[in-house]
Structure 1
């Protein structure tokens, strides 16, 4: 190396540029991780606004101010959700009260059975005294006091998150047209048409998913309510609402969670009732999968079951329970948008199989429907 050679003039500037870019990347990464919770809340609010958009637009078309229409829709959702929580809470509270009232008798029966089997002389009062004065109970009470504070903080955090999502969703729905105009104003005319088309597809798919699920939840709730009333189960209306909502709005495992609670309550009243409820849940699920759901979702969210299952798994891996809820409408929107622009060709005839013959150019084939956004 020549000792008299000088350092290139561009090298210090390049080093400074690389360091600046690295610092910007680190800053952006830190900001993204700090704001990931807010971004997820905004994403949930956006899909919630898309879900209520058809109802808000329909009311606005009839002369209702858009802000008032959005408020009325959200008020209806809130009233329905609060009613469900109250019904479910009353059912659980009644079951807990009954369990507490019958627990001493149940404990006496267990102690009597133990004394009869092993020849012991245990008594419930002696066991209660030993438990009340045990060190284990005192430590448990102290830990529970700390746990109450943690639970309170979690509840307050959940309420704040719910309020944040509701406010963003309200603004997105109430100012939907203004938001679209602001977004399209910075794009050329050709891109504006594509953005508006994608927006309409997202609204149609998300709203269709929500309303088809709500209709299936209503049908499922009515069917199970009839069964619960015929069996004479306690809290039949609350159980029917539980089955309808949980089975439809919790993907993949919702059916099992929905059927577990009424089966458990039926078992406490009569083991045969639990068997009847289990059989009805299985039969109704098959009816819903093969008869009801294809007819209700064929026009709104028509995606392959394997794609839906995979999208739920992917959404859960990315965003947890939130991702599982919004995965299906998101994938349906993407599928419809791609189907409107991706050009498809006929498969060339290769052999004599039935599938190839059906795909050959000379054979008739069903015309593919392309997405056409409806009138706004």
Structure 2
């Protein structure tokens, strides 16, 4: 006799009841977590395929966060928005170009002296190998040098391939730099309208949460980059001045290298510190290298135990273990760009997830609250006008609707205040 649907249903229910509750919960979690991991893997794979677009956008976003206060400062002094952006971008390009020119001059003038000192250091090493505890003969040393030269010659094709690959990478870097500059200009000019457009692509019920989470994430990323700039500056000045005092050659280029390396948390400081010690060893000997090592350790301890807890911890609530693991994962997945952008991305995700999980947009009337005005008093993402927020680059209000323009004229909607703090009420 064929069982009725009710009997079959009861049988399935009985089987399910025989499975322990904990196992059922674990199974439910397992397939959901597995699906999330698969989707994350697919997303990472897709982003890797379009990294030539993602990296310039990330660079432009970070630079927009750094340069937008300058644009705001100029606009407050009645400078037109387009002219303010042009002055800011051209000034930034001039500053970078001047710094690179100064560093290049230092490298050219100091390279000859460093080369002679390096040759002298190699001679000292050869003397130590012959007269030291190893007691190598001159023939043995020459044989080792010949073996090294043969190894280079045998791998010349690989070296040439690497050089050609580097040339291709340099070309991609130049193209990406131009694209990042182009995107930066539009982020500074029309960043607010771009964000409003993206938010309105979402279903209406999701706009408030997305808007608020995006703004909080943007603020967190900008705070991280600004504070990292300060920390990198302190590292560069400390190590550069220390190198100049103990007469290590190329102190200025070394300081610039330390500044750039400091944007890769933990790893960058270790690598640039090792380069500083190696440079002191080659140029001035082991005693000078030990002094340079002490200077590097002192500066890094100052950063780790004083600057990072005081300033970084307040801006971005990330545990050091999370930072290290994130940098490692980013460098494994995307190389140097991954190491550079891993921590800012983690800061954005951390802030956005906490904002959404706490349903912060539903209360306090802050930015992103459904039907509530933003910090500047303009309608939120469900309204008819452009979204307003101090932390996102905005253009002038020429894109506002007629209703909003009349409201501004009557005083019912305040004028935009670029310096307002949008994190209140969170």
Query: What TM-score do you get using the length of structure 2 for normalisation?
Result: 0.59
Structure 1 residue 312: deviation in Å? 1.9
Structure 1 residue 254: deviation in Å? 0.8
1:169-195 deviations in Å (ceiling 9; x for gaps): 322232112212323444566544333
Aligned equivalent of 2:268? 254
Aligned equivalent of 2:78? 63
The 8 Å contact of residues 264 and 274 in structure 1, kept in 2 or not, is answered as yes
Query: Residue 79 of structure 1: which of 94, 97, 109 is its match?
Result: 94
Aligned equivalent of 2:411? none
Shift of the 245–37 alpha-carbon distance from structure 1 to 2, 3 Å rule, reads: closer
Give the number of aligned pairs: 313
Structure 1 residue 335: deviation in Å? 1.9
Cα distance in structure 1, aligned partners of 2:311 and 2:91: 23
1:89-131 deviations in Å (ceiling 9; x for gaps): 44444454235557888888969x98xx8688xx9xxxxxx9x
Q: Give the secondary structure class of the aligned counterpart of 1:298.
A: helix
Cα distance in structure 2, aligned partners of 1:271 and 1:105: 13
The 8 Å contact of residues 88 and 242 in structure 1, kept in 2 or not, is answered as no
Cα distance in structure 1, aligned partners of 2:120 and 2:254: 27
- Written as runs of structure 1 = structure 2, the 5 A alignment for 1:198-237 is 198-237=213-252
The 8 Å contact of residues 48 and 169 in structure 1, kept in 2 or not, is answered as yes
Question: Does residue 373 of the first structure (1) align with residue 373 of the second (2)?
Answer: no
Cα distance in structure 1, aligned partners of 2:90 and 2:208: 33
Aligned equivalent of 1:126? none
Cα distance in structure 1, aligned partners of 2:161 and 2:65: 41
Cα distance in structure 1, aligned partners of 2:188 and 2:105: 33
Structure with bigger RCO (C-alpha 8 Å, 6+ apart): 2
The 8 Å contact of residues 50 and 202 in structure 1, kept in 2 or not, is answered as no
Aligned equivalent of 1:321? 336
Structure 1 residue 276: deviation in Å? 1.0
Aligned equivalent of 2:288? 273
Query: Residue 191 of structure 2: which of 176, 199, 202 is its match?
Result: 176
Question: Does residue 305 of the first structure (1) align with residue 320 of the second (2)?
Answer: yes
Runs (5+) with no aligned partner, structure 2: 1-44, 131-135, 360-420
Cα distance in structure 2, aligned partners of 1:103 and 1:231: 17
Cα distance in structure 1, aligned partners of 2:48 and 2:242: 49
- Written as runs of structure 1 = structure 2, the 5 A alignment for 1:89-104 is 89-98=104-113, 100=115
Query: Residue 181 of structure 2: which of 159, 166, 173 is its match?
Result: 166
1:334-353 deviations in Å (ceiling 9; x for gaps): 22223334349xxxxxxxxx
The 8 Å contact of residues 49 and 172 in structure 1, kept in 2 or not, is answered as yes
Shift of the 287–187 alpha-carbon distance from structure 1 to 2, 3 Å rule, reads: same
The 8 Å contact of residues 53 and 207 in structure 1, kept in 2 or not, is answered as no
Question: Does residue 283 of the first structure (1) align with residue 298 of the second (2)?
Answer: yes
- After TM superposition, the structure 1 stretch with the greater mean CA deviation from structure 2, 97-106 or 266-275, is 97-106
Shift of the 69–186 alpha-carbon distance from structure 1 to 2, 3 Å rule, reads: same
1:294-340 deviations in Å (ceiling 9; x for gaps): 11123322211122222222323333322222222222222222333
Q: Give the secondary structure class of the aligned counterpart of 1:175.
A: helix
Shift of the 312–71 alpha-carbon distance from structure 1 to 2, 3 Å rule, reads: farther
The 8 Å contact of residues 331 and 337 in structure 2, kept in 1 or not, is answered as yes
Query: Residue 156 of structure 1: which of 143, 147, 171 is its match?
Result: 171
Cα distance in structure 2, aligned partners of 1:171 and 1:265: 42
Shift of the 236–142 alpha-carbon distance from structure 1 to 2, 3 Å rule, reads: closer
Shift of the 33–155 alpha-carbon distance from structure 1 to 2, 3 Å rule, reads: closer
Runs (5+) with no aligned partner, structure 1: 1-29, 124-129, 345-370
- After TM superposition, the structure 1 stretch with the greater mean CA deviation from structure 2, 89-98 or 293-302, is 89-98
Cα distance in structure 2, aligned partners of 1:104 and 1:273: 17
Q: Give the secondary structure class of the aligned counterpart of 1:181.
A: helix
The root-mean-square deviation of aligned C-alpha atoms, in Å, is 4.3
